[in-house]
């Protein structure tokens, strides 16, 4: 069970990178392009890859108990679930863990997006405004998920797939959304909205920071966000991520208030190091390097 989860996770994390590489090489070798092939991008161009996300800061948006679209749950209740997000250890892109269940029986496949504004205290999902779209692409036509840089930054279901099963769980790395405050792609002060297929808003939740940038690792442990992928770390932190060196996919380490030690003491070469030293791809290397983090999130929740 854990092994198969880890494998699914591995594919989920690496697939977008492979897709990106494929699209880069194919566009580079395109000789004669027809107009139909050139994708719609933002008025300000394609979304840019954010390379300096502060690692370790975890943001979470948890759906409320009551739906905004009351008609979707005549007897009360709501979609259950959350988005959890943390920057990749190398600061390139953000790992998203998406978990939804108890969706309405009809009206799918469901969509979900990061919206510009947070949810006001009255829970009004309309007030979250439109999708996060700093490059001004617009919602239509729907973007090509093979070219996520051409999509609205906040269009997560457009880039990584609609909610087509219940429960729905997926983990991926998005290169464009950011945990870096001050830039348009920053989502920590915004919200996520779940929609019917016809875009009617079912429910929404604001992101909140649930762990800080030092990854919850105590200064005295010799661990840091930077060293976390290359050395063993333990944590007495407050229930946050503590990736281990070995990147042992079947045993991601996590900290639960210091109750559990997270180190095994032996540092075997990580997938990240193996891939990089094989010289195949730095991007693949960084993808592999985030697996411990993604796995830690997965098992933390
Ligand atoms: C956006 O990216 C696509 C796919 O790589 C490319 O074809 C297009 O030329 C880019 N557009 C701009 C404005 O950079
Ligand atoms: C959207 O779909 C839902 C579920 O099928 C339905 O209840 C709602 O009325 C639809 N909204 C619009 C604007 O058609
Ligand atoms: C919800 O917010 C929208 C946009 O701000 C507003 O037009 C609408 O009146 C609000 N609805 C309620 C019930 O407050
Ligand atoms: C999406 O982009 C890929 C890569 O450029 C291309 O092969 C494919 O035809 C595009 N799909 C659509 C529906 O435009
Ligand atoms: C969220 O943060 C971004 C970047 O720091 C800022 O531009 C935007 O105004 C903020 N939005 C809200 C609703 O606070
Ligand atoms: C991962 O951890 C498990 C349990 O501690 C152990 O049995 C397994 O050999 C480890 N695998 C690797 C590749 O280190």
Q: What pLDDT score does 114 carry?
A: 98
The number of beta carbons lying within 10 Å of the beta carbon of residue 157 is: 19
What are the start-end ranges of the H helices in the chain? 2-28, 156-160, 271-277, 282-289, 291-300
Q: How confident is the model at residue 16 (pLDDT cuts 50, 70, 90)?
A: very low
Find all residues with CB under 8 Å of 139, minimum gap 6, and list them.
130, 131, 152, 155
Residue of the CA atom closest to atom 8 of ligand 2? 200
Interatomic CA distance for residues 53 and 225, integer angstroms: 12
What pLDDT score does 266 carry? 37
More confident residue, 277 or 25: 25
Domain that holds residue 121: 3-300
Measured in angstroms, how far is the CA atom of residue 144 from the centroid of ligand 4?
6
Residue 258 pLDDT greater than 80, yes or no:
no
Contact 195, 182 (CB under 8 A): no
Let me know: does 116 contact 132? Beta carbons within 8 Å. Answer: yes
Ligand 6 geometric centre to CA of 292 (Å)? 14
Q: Which of 66, 118, 119, 127 gets mutated to test ligand 3 (max ligand atoms within 8 A of its CB)? A: 127
Q: Which has more confidence, 242 or 152?
A: 152
DSSP string over 97-136? EEEEES--SSS-SBEEEEESSPPPTT--GGGG-SB--TT-
Q: Which atom of ligand 6 is nearest to the CA of 246?
A: 14
Establish how many alpha carbons lie within 13 A of residue 39's alpha carbon, considering only the half-sphere containing its beta carbon: 20
Averaged pLDDT for residues 217-226: 34
Cβ of 248 below 6 Å from ligand 6: yes
Nearest-5° angle of CA 24, CA 27, CA 29? 110
The CA distance from 197 to 57, in Å, is: 32
pLDDT tens per residue, range 157-177: 999 999 999 999 999 999 999
Q: What CATH number is attached to the domain comprising 167? A: 2.60.40.200
pTM of the model: 0.70
Tell me which of 53, 188, 189, 208 to substitute to probe ligand 5's pocket, judged by most ligand atoms within 8 Å of the beta carbon: 189
What angle in degrees, to the nearest 10, is found between the helix axes of 291-300 and 282-289? 20
Binding site membership of 144 for ligand 4 (Cβ less than 6 Å): yes
Ligand nearest to the backbone CA of 104:
2
pLDDT higher at 252 or 65: 65
> Nearest ligand, CA of residue 143?
4
Percentage of the chain surpassing pLDDT 90?
56
Between residues 83 and 259, the one the model is more confident about: 83
pLDDT in tens, 53-99: 998 899 999 999 999 999 999 999 999 999 999 999 999 999 999 99
What is the distance between the alpha carbons of residues 207 and 181, in angstroms, rounded to a whole number?
13
What is the pLDDT averaged over residues 248-256? 31
Burial annotation 37-57 (CB, 10 A radius, 16+ → b, else e): eebebbeeebbbebeebbbbb
Identify the residue with better confidence: 31 or 274.
31
The answer for residues whose C-beta is within 8 angstroms of residue 143's C-beta and 6 or more apart is 39, 40, 137, 150, 151, 152, 155, 158, 159
Q: What is the mean pLDDT of the chain?
A: 72
In Å, how far are 34, 207, 214 from 211, measured between CA atoms? 48, 12, 8
Contact 188, 132 (CB under 8 A): no
First to last CA, the chain: 16
Expressed in angstroms and rounded, the spacing between residue 42 Cα and the centre of ligand 1 is 10
Query: Cis peptide leading into 141, omega within 30 of 0?
Result: yes
Domain count, the chain: 1
| The pLDDT value given to residue 211 | 87
Least confident of 38-47, 103-112, 287-296: 287-296
């Amino acid at each position: 069970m854990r092994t198969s989860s880890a494998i699914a996770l591995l594919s989920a994390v690496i697939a977008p990178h492979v897709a990106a590489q494929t699209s880069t090489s194919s566009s580079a070798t395109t000789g004669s392009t027809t107009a139909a092939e050139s994708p719609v991008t933002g008025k300000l161009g394609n979304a840019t890859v954010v390379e300096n996300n502060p690692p370790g800061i975890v943001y979470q948006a948890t759906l409320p108990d009551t739906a905004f679209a009351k008609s979707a749950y005549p007897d009360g209740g709501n979609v259950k679930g959350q988005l959890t997000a943390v920057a990749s250890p190398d600061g390139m892109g953000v790992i998203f863990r998406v978990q939804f269940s108890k969706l309405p029986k009809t009206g799918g496949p469901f969509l979900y997006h990061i919206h510009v504004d947070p949810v006001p205290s009255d829970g009004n999902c309309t007030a979250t405004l439109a999708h996060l779209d700093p490059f001004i692409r617009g919602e239509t036509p729907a973007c090509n998920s093979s070219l996520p840089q051409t999509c609205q930054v906040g269009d997560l279901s457009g880039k990584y797939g609609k909610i087509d099963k219940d429960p729905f769980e997926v983990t991926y790395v998005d290169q464009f959304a950011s945990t870096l405050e001050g830039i348009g792609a920053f989502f920590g002060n915004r919200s996520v909205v779940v929609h019917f297929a016809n875009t009617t808003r079912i429910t929404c939740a604001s992101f909140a920071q649930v762990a800080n940038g030092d990854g919850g690792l105590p200064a005295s442990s010799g661990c840091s966000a930077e060293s976390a992928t290359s050395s063993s770390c333990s944590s007495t932190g407050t229930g946050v991520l503590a990736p281990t060196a070995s990147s042992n996919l079947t045993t991601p380490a996590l900290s639960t208030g210091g109750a559990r030690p997270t180190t095994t003491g032996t540092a075997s070469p990580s997938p990240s190091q193996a891939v990089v030293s094989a010289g195949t791809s730095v991007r693949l290397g960084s993808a592999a390097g985030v697996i411990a983090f993604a796995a830690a999130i997965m098992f933390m929740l």
